[in-house]
Structures are given as structure tokens and as C-alpha cells.
Amino acid sequence: MTAGSLRDDLKTLPDTSPEVDRLVTEIISRVADKWTMLLIEILTERECCRFGELFRACEGISQKMLTQTLRAMERDGLVTRTVYPVVPPKVEYRLTDLGLGLSKAFCGVWHWAEAHFEQIEQARRDYAAKAENE
Amino acid sequence: MTAGSLRDDLKTLPDTSPEVDRLVTEIISRVADKWTMLLIEILTERECCRFGELFRACEGISQKMLTQTLRAMERDGLVTRTVYPVVPPKVEYRLTDLGLGLSKAFCGVWHWAEAHFEQIEQARRDYAAKAENE
DNA sequence: ATTTATACTTACCGAAAAGAGAGTGTGGAC
DNA sequence: GTCCACACTCTCTTTTCGGTAAGTATAAAT
């Protein structure tokens, strides 16, 4: 496929109002951050997770960020948070249908990134090499 | 479609190594920011743009951010930057095939967001209302 | 001689995000 | 009585982000 024909395909997408554009952009950048995506991935695979489980699965995250990210996802209707009134506390998270839909939509980007990350790394090396020769 | 069957679909995706996971996550969060997405959209529509044109099309952006974002995109191989040695300077940007591929992959997310932003806003209202009653 | 156009680059500053690490509540095991 | 488990929550510090505004280079137009 050439750049030209691919672009023609893309051009046929429906135009949207600038207002919707802004909303959509805001939602995407809200949702397309590192931890949110990782959590969506984990919750897609595991169905239902406790806080500590997510904490261990999401290596590198701090408790603070995990709480914050989960709260934002709950607020946006992507996950449900179920608290069991027991001691020690037990809280379960799972994706809603909305969250699963997003997970599916992201698959395209995920696949693209998987298929092309070597190209990107090569581009970065080329760029660095070019910069060095100047 | 139920949550269960949708999840089953998603589960059939190939597993990837944690290393690739990290790379892919890094690339996506690199690429999924507000300005990069907007620029990809504009360049998908307009094919070829000068700096000033992008500056005007991307309302709200500062010159600094525009330069920075374009440089990052160039570094990642998403756009080409062509400098014409004339005065006043003339520089043209256009998406590479890699950039167009990303544009296409993001369409899915874009469509999802377009189709569901009202649901998200409703979820946010519900969440705010619930928080207020406590 | 001065202004204009273009595409930056640089310096500075405040705001916002994020990490580290300690603290909290409570019931049951020891 | 003490400790542990779990899911936070709070504070403090560091890092990063992003905006403003000024500066640069140069040829042509006035």
C-alpha cells in the first residue's frame, strides 16, 4: 500500500465538529497514558483483580499512582470497584463493558506498535547518528 | 455482545514478552499525547505542511511545543522534515508511511472515543454525584 | 536604513506531575 | 499485648512540562 492510497482511505473518515474533536482528544490523552494502558491490559487478561495483585502486576508503579489511575478509570466508567467490608480490606477491580470496548479499540494501536517498534528504534538510531555527524 | 465473550476475543491475542511490552507501552505513551495526535490528524488531512501552517492549524500550541513535538515525531520516523535553503526559510513536514500507519491504527481509538464520549461524560457526572452524597 | 517574513532557539519561571516513604484503621492469629 | 495483612492516604521532595518573551539569520521590499 502506498502512502497516497492509504491517505485517501483516511480522508474518507467523517469530519467532526471541533467541539467533539476537543472532547475526543481529551479522552484519548486521558486514557492513553502508560499506567492506564497497562492496567487495561492486565484487567483484560485477568478479569478481576485485587489492589495488591494489580500493584504486583504493574511493576514500577507506586501505590499512589495506582490508586490515582484506578480512581480516574472508575470515574470514567472503565472499571468497577467493589469493596468488601472485611478486615483486612478487600477491594476488587474489573473492567466494565466500556473498558473492554476501549481495550479492543486499543488493540489496533498495540498491534501497530508491536509490528513497528523496530522501525521506530531504527529511526531513532538513524536520527542520533545523523545528529552526531554535525 | 457480553463482557465475557468480548474478553474471550481479546484473550486470544498473542502474548508478548515483558520486554516488548515495555517498548510498546513506551512508544504508545510517547505518541499518544495531545499535540502529536493533533498533528497526525492535520498531516493526514493536509498531506504536506509548512511550520507556520501547522502553527495556525494547531490552535493553542506554542512555537516551542510545536517544534518539540515535530522533532520528536521526526526522530521516531513519523514525519519527514524538508528544509529549502531559501530566505525567508521554508520547511515542509509530511507523514511517512510509518506515520500514516499509526494514523490508521489510531482511527479505532478515535472512533471508540467518538462513539462513547457521552457515556464517559455520564459516568463522570454519576461519579461526581455519588461523591457529593457522602 | 528599516521593516518584514519565516522558522526556529534559548533562557527563565511557575505549575503540575510523580516518586519516596511514613502513617492509618481494624480484626484475627500468636 | 503485639504483630500482621491490606488498601489506602498524606506529606515532602524532585522532576518534568509548558508558557512567555526575547534573540538569530538573511534577503527582499519600501
Determine the nucleotide nearest to A88 by Cα–C1' distance.
D6
CATH number assigned to the domain with residue range B3-104, chosen from the 4 options 1.10.10.10, 3.40.50.300, 1.20.120.160, 1.10.260.40 = 1.10.10.10
Find residues 25-64 of chain A whose CB sits inside 8 Å of chain B. Answer: 25, 27-29, 31-34, 37-38, 41, 44-45, 47
Question: Tell me: the pLDDT tens digits for B49-74?
Answer: 999 999 999 999 999 999 999 999 99
Q: What is the mean pLDDT of residues A43-58?
A: 95
Residue B13 has pLDDT above 60, yes or no: no
- Predicted local confidence at residue A134, as pLDDT: 67
Any atom of strand D under 7 A from CB of B101? no
pLDDT above 90 covers a percentage of chain A that reads 64
CA distances A90 to A19, A76, A123, B134, Å, are: 41, 22, 47, 21
pLDDT attached to residue A57: 93
pLDDT at A97: 97
Q: Where are the domains of chain A?
A: 3-132
Res. A96 pLDDT band, cuts 50 70 90: very high
Q: Which of residues 69-98 of A touch B (CB under 8 A)?
A: 74-77, 95-98
Give me the mean pLDDT over the A83-111 stretch. Answer: 94
Q: What is the pTM of this model?
A: 0.88
Yes or no, beta carbons of A16 and B114 under 8 Å apart:
yes
List of long-range contacts for B117-122, beta carbons under 8 Å, 24+ apart: B117/A20, B117/A23, B117/A24, B117/A27, B119/A77, B119/A98, B120/A27, B120/A76, B120/A77, B120/A98, B121/A23, B122/A77
pLDDT grade, residue B10 (50/70/90)? low
Per-residue model confidence as pLDDT tens digits over B79-124? 999 999 999 999 999 999 999 999 999 899 989 999 999 999 999 9
**Positions on chain C within 7 A of a protein C-beta:** 5-11, 18-22, 25-28
Average pLDDT, chain B: 89
Query: What was the pLDDT predicted at B44?
Result: 94
- Level-2 CATH architecture, domain A3-132: Orthogonal Bundle (1.10)
Structure-model confidence comparison of residues B134 and B94, the more confident one: B94
pLDDT confidence of residue A133 = 75
Amino acid whose CA is nearest the C1' of C18 = A65
**Cβ of B31 near strand D (distance < 7 A):** no
The integer distance in angstroms from the CA atom of A102 to the C1' atom of C28 is: 41
Nearest chain A CA: its distance from B39 CA (Å): 12
pLDDT at A121 > cutoff 90 = yes
What's residue A22's pLDDT? 83
On the CB side of B48, CA atoms within 13 Å amount to 8
Inform me whether the pLDDT recorded for B33 exceeds 90.
no
Average pLDDT, integer, range A21-25: 84
Query: Tell me, what DSSP letter sits at residue A89?
Result: -
Please provide the average confidence, as pLDDT, over all residues in chain A: 89
Mutate to test the interface with B, among A118, A120, A130 (most CBs of B within 10 A): A120
